[in-house]
Amino acid sequence: MFQRLWNFYKHPFRRRLIWVSAGIGVFLYMIYQRYFPKDVVFGVFRSSDPMQLMLWPFQILSSKAWWQFWLIVVLFVFLWLLWLFFFAQFVLPVQGGRDRFKVFWQLVRYVFGRHGPAMFIQDGEMIANRRERNRPGPGVLVLDTASAAVLRTGRNFTRAVGPGVVFTQPGEWVDTVLDLRKQVTVIGPTKDEDDPFLPRGEDETDEAYEKRVSWRQRAGGRTRDGVEVVPRLTVVFALDKHPDDLSEEAYEEGRFRTNFYGHEASVWRAVTHRPVDADKAVGGTGIPQERLLSWQWLPQALAVDLWREYIQRVRLSQLFEAVDESGQTALNMIASTIKERLSSPQYHELGVDARPTGEVVTSREYQLLQEHGLRVMSVSISAIYLPPEVEQMLIERWSSNWLDRARREGEMVARKRALAQKRGAEAAVLDWGRMVVEVCGTEVERIPSREQCLARLLAATRDALRSDPDLYQAAQEEIIAALDEIWAWYQRADASTLDEPNMLIEEEH
């Protein structure tokens, strides 16, 4: 008996009703003690006159205490509603009198247990208990700036709602919650330990092993020579702010007319255009909501289909070879083409061996994403996984050919180095001549003799060396030896005219 009473009391509405009823009872008893005369209320029970017993209700209604009682009750209800309306202004962040009255009536319904679901949606996640979600009455939703939702009734979808406060109608509930931020999806093994070709580990559970091996079926593809390759694809996408390629002017003109900031049409399309899981649809089990795929499913599915389409055009040996003048490998070309095909209305097609054909084709995948309100921003292939025997064969082939490749690369580096040295020497001669001419000067009073020209040239060389300490320290011995040879040659020609330059040489030493 006590347990049944406790279960009855644990219900939130019943518990609230019991305490409110107790408070009203205490209030009525105080009113009765203050205003109602005892002879009017209980005097009739002490009388034996049946006529007085019949007139007792009319005596109560005609008494002054009765009207005072109801006046106090009405005043109490009015003050309570006024107090509730005042505090309703601070419950939710709303603007405008119409929304404020909606909050007020929502609080009144809450007091009497007739309210609908009151839920908070944050970062694309609904925060509410199961009992709160299933309430049938009119409710309220509070969505942060990163969230949106689509509402529905028992028959169909009703509307898309965005950030802010939203009041729901009776029989209307949240069908799907969406995250307005960028979504990052990784298709394939996320770690090297998750290689789907590795044998089962000793401590690996059945669930972990099946999940790891399932990537071969979910994301794997085969090359033209029949080698199975499993990639690690990373797709970054989001709800489209510019559905149907809306112009920037039209977007800026209409973006502040809705709380979605351009996402309203995309939110509606992402939910209402969701595909159905074929496996669950055939069986016919579960409610319809369980048979619908997530709105985030389409970009990753298209990326896997395109990967399988392009990987079968190349051989495994060509996957890491350059296919164009810029040095892009076939794997990089496949990744860039998948990205272009998902993010642009037109793309440049790849032919056999992943070589560009020069043909510009309309992207059906981009149109499909537009119809679902999605836009892909980036696609990358960060790793690929091969069967162990194929990987070992590639290592052995690389080991047998590495010496030839290293020799060819060394010859190429030597040619580049010789060319760079030649260009550097030519540039150094020009820079040195320009520096000597600037230091020596071009204006002279009379035609100098050869001894004077030599003296000026050597003086200019000396000053140029002294003005650049790094050059002086790096080439001091070499330059001094060259100057000594020049002076020896002139001394043999005419030793009597070289007194002044000899002083310069001694100073240099």
Other C-beta atoms closer than 10 Å to the C-beta of 270 total 25
Quote the CA–CA distance of 79 and 33 in Å, as a whole number.
Answer: 22
**What are φ and ψ of residue 227, in 5° steps?**
-90, 130
175: burial class by Cβ within 10 Å (0-12, 13-18, 19+)?
middle
Q: In whole angstroms, what is the distance from residue 452 CA to residue 276 CA?
A: 98
DSSP states of 380-411: EEEEEE--HHHHHHHHHHHHHHHHHHHHHHHH
Cβ-contact 382, 232 below 8 angstroms:
yes
Q: What angle do CA 463, 469, 475 make, to 5 degrees?
A: 85
pLDDT band, residue 281 (cuts 50/70/90):
low
Helices then strands, counting H and E runs in the chain, come out as 21, 13
pLDDT at 477: 61
Lowest mean pLDDT, pick from 49-53, 111-115, 356-360: 49-53
Residue 188 in 3-state DSSP? coil
**How do 140-143 and 118-122 pair as beta strands?**
parallel
Q: Residue 269: how many CB atoms within 10 A of its CB?
A: 21
Give ∠ CA 272-275-279 in degrees, rounded to 5. 140
- CA-based angle 432:437:442, to the nearest 5? 175
**pLDDT for position 507:** 42
Whether the CA torsion 451, 452, 457, 458 is positive or negative: it is: positive
- Rounded to two decimals, what is the model's pTM? 0.64
Which sign, positive or negative, has the C-alpha torsion 127, 132, 134, 137? negative
- Residue 505 predicted with pLDDT over 50: no
SS3 262: coil
Give me 467's structure tokens: 């003005």
Of all residues in the chain, what percent carry a pLDDT higher than 90?
Answer: 16
The pLDDT of residue 358 is 86
Top mean pLDDT of 82-86, 93-97, 377-381, 471-475 is at: 377-381
How does residue 502 score in pLDDT terms, banded at 50, 70 and 90?
Answer: very low
**In the numeric block, which tokens belong to residue 293?**
């795929």
Which residues neighbour 238 within 8 Å (Cβ) at sequence distance 6 or greater?
A: 180, 181, 182, 183, 374, 375, 377
Could you read off the pLDDT of 153-212 as tens digits, one per residue?
Answer: 888 889 888 888 888 888 888 888 999 889 999 998 888 788 888 888 888 888 888 888
